[in-house]
Every structure is written in structure tokens, then in C-alpha cells.
Structure 1
Amino acid sequence: MEKILECVPNFSEGRNLDTVEKIVDSFRGKDGVKLLDYQTDKDHNRMVVTVVGEPEALKKTVIEAVGTAVRLIDMRTHQGQHPRMGAVDVIPFIPIRNLSMADAVDVSKQVAKKVAGKYALPVFLYAEAAIHPERYNLANIRKGEFEKMAEKIRRPAWKPDFGDAEIHPTAGVTAIGARMPLVAFNVNLDTDNLNIADQIAKRVRHTGGGLRYCKGIGIELKDRGLVQVSMNMTDFTKTALYRAMELIRIEAGRHGVNVVGSEIVGLVPMEALIDSAAYYLGLEDFSMEQVLEARIME
């Protein structure tokens, strides 16, 4: 592929595997597109897909996947720990090779216009594609979630960027935009007290006075009897994963609980993991040029 664009759509389904597979089939076996990964989470009731491709081919497959999700997912019965506002909750485009952020923004707007018209799905533009400053932050758009979105988008300040000011009755609304790579990083605690995870998330995330490029919420993992600090690290080059981990350890200690594990959702840039590995190993003057795989890929 001469030009590579990445897309990481999040779908509000992580339990019905038949629905999951039908959505993912939209990305399989398509010329100019490569499905890299898809992960489901029953507690979040969510699926994250990672796919790359040439811009035109990728646009077509994403639009097809949206149509499948709109047809199969009914938000009126959806329940899960992760905040959500639609069957296709968010669709970010990320420039990877021979494409600028402006190119990614242009693709995001084209897809937004198409899915709004084709599926009667209201769309908000966010991140680098945002037209309104208050919509840059996805959390501002998602506030109120599916249950309160019907009333929200009737307000003049929250008129969708594409589509009518009326939610799709079963698929809700969608946010589409462009951004740089982020890391979905979750840390698990040895307690079932969700209030503790909420308090820690509040102290770790930027809006609570924590790490600049960190968003976080508390999540309950009922099947495991644990809670989780679920984070999006929006710029791992400026806020490293190990900083989030260590700050969570400190805050967890105040509540008498411990970190028992962590997870990455979807794919992660090698540099993000190497940075944390170098920190925990105490490596001096280490650089990515010393990573065998990085040199081979040059």
C-alpha cells in the first residue's frame, strides 16, 4: 500500500459473537484493506476493531460495517460498563503512511456525510475533525449517553454536524473524527469497590488534575470481582504508560488496594511499550534504534 490510513471503530457489542463476526466480516477479504485486530469485552459490552488500508478502500469497508452494526445492534437493550451513545460509538481515522492529518480529517468528513445520509444516523465530528471547539473532546459529545441523547441533540448547541437532530431509534448517534494514535490502557485493582476506581481515575486523568494526556474512568469487572481504571492515553510520547501505572499504584495504596494486572485494548505502537520496558528495567541511554524489529522494519 502506497498510502496507509488506520481506522479503529468501536462498536457497542461485546457479548453476541454472531453479531460481532458479521460486523467484522465487513473488513475481511477486501482489496486494499487489512484487518489487523478485533477485541471484545463482555463487561464493557464493546468491540474495538483495528484496520488499515488505502483511503478509498477503507472508506467503503467502514461504511459497510456501520450499516451492519446499525442493522444488528439495538441500543434500547444495550447494557455495559463503558460509556456509549450509539451502535457505532466512535470512528477515528489515523494517518500512518504518506498521509497528513488533513487527509484523515477529509476522509472522516466524507464517511460522516455518507453514513448520515445512507443510514439516517446523526454524526458528530470530533478531535482534529471537530468544527466546534466544544466537540474536540469525545467525552463532551458522549455525555448523557444513548439514554439522554434524543433530548440533547435537539438543543441548537448540539445539532449534529451531519444528519437530522433526531437519534436513530435503535442505533443512536455516532462520533467520527481524526486523531493521532492513542493507547487504550486498563489497570485492574484487587477490590470490587467501584467508588475506589472512580476516585483513582479522577486523580489520574487530566480533567481531575492528573496526567496531561490521560483520560480515565472506573469500570466494574463483575465476572472477575474486580474494578478497573480504564484509560485512553491520547499521546503516549508525552504521557508514558509507566507514569499512569505508577500514579495508579500510589493512589491505590491510599485506599489499601493493589494493582493486580493491566491490559492493552487493540494494537499499541512498539515505542509505547519499549518506553515502559526501559523505565522498569532501568536502562540507561536506551533508544528505539537498539530494538531489533524496529531496525529490520526500516
Structure 2
Amino acid sequence: HQGVHPRLGVVDVVPFVPLVGSTMFEATQARDEFAEWAVTTLGVPCFLYGTEKSLPDIRRQAWSSLIPDRGGPDGHSTAGAICVGARGLLVAYNVWMSGDTSAEAAHALARQVRGDGIRTLALNVGNRWQISMNLIDPLRIGPDIAFDRIAQLVPFMQADIDHCELVGLLSEAALKKISSERWDELGLGVETTIEYRRSHGYHF
């Protein structure tokens, strides 16, 4: 398994997210049931995240001060381990930088944008830098705010923005908080919402 994103296994993260008609309690139950299945059926140990601990906590401490919550203390010989979580909706969002952006500038951007409601990494993918972000409270800090924080910093660094990328979907409520005039710039649209996909026959 090769890649630039931090990972603990071939299947790195399996999140259970309550949507309309379900609760966090049910998501936590589903998380625990999946972890038991993964250990029993596949022999892959699982770290659990949610109210007890966060995914970044696990990434920092796994295999040192933290062992899997389900399964043995060692990873599977070929599959590693799985992080299984119960959490609310978040938005995974990437801002790709121009080809002449330096590593120093990309890491500085990630550090300065990281903080309240935004988790960031600077990743080099195909000789291009991206600021990879998880927006953990997208109704408060959405893609527009995250983008603007980066855009305000790039004039002072050896960097420029190339394009943006939504990874997965966002809620209709999060999209509606952003002016429709900015959707193209931010790589968003009605078709990128969970509600649109559900209404067009996609099942979650």
C-alpha cells in the first residue's frame, strides 16, 4: 500500500455518520458491531474513535501509547488496522496549489490555516502540493471560509491556488450557507450534496 496520506491500514478509516432519521447512539452501535466483525471475520484489529477520542489522537498515539480497542495489540500482517468511528458530518476539502508552490510554503499554509474547526495537512501528490482539510463543523466553518483563509495568506508566500476539490459530499445546509455565486470557484454545486444524491437514487 503506497500513498502520501497518513494511514494505519489498507482500509484506513470507516466512519459511521447519523443522517436523517438516525442518531449518534445508533452510529456508535454500528461502529462497534463493524469493529467486532472486522476482528472476528477478517482478523484486522480496530481503533475506535468518537466521543472517547479523536482520529488525530489515534494517529499520534497508535502503536506507541495506544493499542487497538478491538483485536490484538499488533496490526494485521498485510492489512494493518482500521480506524472505525462514530461522528457527525464533516467536509473533506482540498485546495490544490500551483506547480511552483514550494514545500516550505505549503507546510506553512497548512500550519497557519489549521485550528478552530479545520484540520490540515500539506501533501505532495504527483509533484503538486495540496492543502488537505477536514472541516469538522461545516455549518460554522465551510469550504468558503477555509478557502478564504488560504487565499489571504498566499500573497505573502511563494504560493498560488490552482483549484479546489470537494472529496465526497456535503450537506445541503452547508451548501446553502455559501453564496451560489461562489460555487463554481469552490468546486461545489447542488449535485455535490447528500440530499441531491439521495433524491436521485443513491443509497447510503
CA distance in 2, matches of 1:200, 1:137: 23
Shift of 1:278: 5.1
CA distance in 1, matches of 2:104, 2:2: 19
Task: Specify the alignment match of 2:60 in structure 1.
Answer: 143
Task: Specify the alignment match of 2:29 in structure 1.
Answer: 106
8 Å Cα contact 2:75-2:81 kept in structure 1: yes
CA distance in 2, matches of 1:214, 1:165: 31
Task: Specify the alignment match of 2:124 in structure 1.
Answer: 220
The one-letter amino acid paired with 2:38 is: V
The one-letter amino acid paired with 2:8 is: M
CA distance in 2, matches of 1:229, 1:218: 5
Shift of 1:113: 1.2
- Which one of the candidate residues 62, 69, 82 is aligned to 1:174? 82
Task: Specify the alignment match of 2:178 in structure 1.
Answer: 276
CA distance in 1, matches of 2:181, 2:50: 30
- Which one of the candidate residues 87, 90, 110 is aligned to 1:201? 110
Shift of 1:280: 4.6
- Which one of the candidate residues 118, 134, 145 is aligned to 1:243? 145
Shift of 1:97: 2.5
CA distance in 2, matches of 1:267, 1:177: 18
Q: Provide the secondary structure at the position in 2 that maps to 1:99.
A: coil
TM-score scaled by length of structure 2 = 0.82
The one-letter amino acid paired with 1:241 is: P
- Which one of the candidate residues 187, 192, 204 is aligned to 2:95? 187
Alignment of 1:267 onto 2:169: yes
Q: How many residues align?
A: 185
The one-letter amino acid paired with 2:110 is: A
The alignment-based identity, stated in percent, is: 30
Task: Specify the alignment match of 1:27 in structure 2.
Answer: none
CA distance in 2, matches of 1:159, 1:220: 29
Shift of 1:82: 1.0
Evaluate the alpha carbon distance shift between residue 97 and residue 276 of structure 1 in structure 2; reply closer, same or farther with a 3 A threshold: closer
| Higher helix residue share | 1
Deviation track 1:258-291 (CA, whole Å, cap 9, x = no partner) reads 212100011221232332225859xxxxxxxxxx
Deviation track 1:203-262 (CA, whole Å, cap 9, x = no partner) reads 1111xxxxx11101001122xx42110101111011122111111011211104221210
- Which one of the candidate residues 69, 72, 79 is aligned to 1:164? 72
Structure 1 stretches of at least 4 aligned residues deviating more than 6 Å after TM superposition: none
8 Å Cα contact 1:204-1:247 kept in structure 2: yes
8 Å Cα contact 1:194-1:219 kept in structure 2: no
Alignment of 1:257 onto 2:165: no
Task: Specify the alignment match of 2:5 in structure 1.
Answer: 82
Unaligned runs of 5+ in 1: 1-77, 131-135, 207-211, 282-292
Deviation track 1:101-137 (CA, whole Å, cap 9, x = no partner) reads 0110011011111111221211111023x3xxxxx22
The one-letter amino acid paired with 1:196 is: A
CA distance in 2, matches of 1:159, 1:261: 39
CA distance in 1, matches of 2:112, 2:132: 13
